[in-house]
Amino acid sequence: MKNTVLTFKQAKENGEKLTMLTAYDYSTAKLIDEAGINSILVGDSLGNVILGYEDTISVTMEDMIHHGAAVARGAKNALVVIDMPFMSYQTSVYDAVVNAGRLMKEGRADAVKLEGGQIVCPQIEAITACGIPVVAHLGLTPQSINAFGGFKVQGKTAEAAMQLIEDAKAVEAAGAFAVVLEGIPSAVASKITEVLTIPTIGIGAGADCDGQVLVYQDMLGMFSDYVPKFVKQFANVGEIMKKAFADYIKEVAEGTFPAEENQYGISKEAEDELERLY
């Protein structure tokens, strides 16, 4: 069954946890979808884990459309959310609507996600007014790391926590159907989850959120540049991949791969004819 915004609404009402993972390509999206996830996020974290940038600042609309469309082709049942990259919505409400529309039309998103609270509410209102579902994103929002002075947990003082709660209420009022809470104390995320009627999806925001999201390379041990405290490695696929790559290199070097069963044959007559000619 296809997950929709109604799945998110009902999950919150029924107290059922929502699941979300990132994906950036067709085959990974297909595997995650077949595992039964509620939602796949084509995060602008692709800047880090796919393109090798230090942050998400350089990610473009073209990057998001290219990877988003691949994920959408692989996701049958998961609700596909595509991130709006840095400066694709901050510049104006007009830009936000045009770029959200491109992610829907060209990227085949089911919803878009953008970072920020009260400051981006006009954008959220305008995008949702066009019939495009919006996920908001608060807390340690990676597009603002230069303003934060690095990847730092947000909402640690009472004042900062209150600001987060007000931002969460504002994005809900503006029409967001869910909000990602990233890198904030669990107690603050818990309070936000309690006061909102839309679901909260946490990453580094504790167990009380209505759902959880992780970057798939992090939870599979495939990305070691930086491993945040909130990551749990559910498998060490990175090590399995390295071993397989090393085995391949060894077997090719030894001449044991390709073996007989990996090769194509020809008929005896064709072989004899080749022998005669060459």
Least gap, CB of 250 to ligand KIV (angstroms): 35
Shorter beta-carbon distance to ligand KIV: residue 213 or 222 = 213
Give the contacts of 201 (CB within 8 A, at least 6 positions apart).
18, 20, 135, 178, 179, 180, 181, 209, 210, 211, 212, 213
Residue 154 near residue 183 (C-beta atoms within 8 A): yes
Least gap, CB of 91 to ligand KIV (angstroms): 20
Q: How far is CA 240 from CA 110, 155, 221, 222, 236, in A?
A: 33, 38, 10, 10, 7
Residue ranges that bind ligand KIV, judged by CB under 6 A: 22, 41, 43-45, 83, 137, 180, 182, 203, 213, 215
Shorter beta-carbon distance to ligand KIV: residue 54 or 272 = 54
Measured CA to CA, the distance from residue 207 to residue 181 in angstroms comes to: 12
Shorter beta-carbon distance to ligand KIV: residue 102 or 137 = 137
Residue 138 near residue 179 (C-beta atoms within 8 A): yes
- Residue 68 in tokens: 């988003």
Shorter beta-carbon distance to ligand KIV: residue 217 or 267 = 217
Least gap, CB of 252 to ligand KIV (angstroms): 35
Instruction: Please identify every residue annotated as catalytic.
Output: 182
Residue ranges of E strands in 107-261: 111-115, 134-139, 178-182, 200-203, 211-214
87 secondary structure, DSSP code: T
Residue nearest to ligand KIV (CB): 43
Least gap, CB of 108 to ligand KIV (angstroms): 18
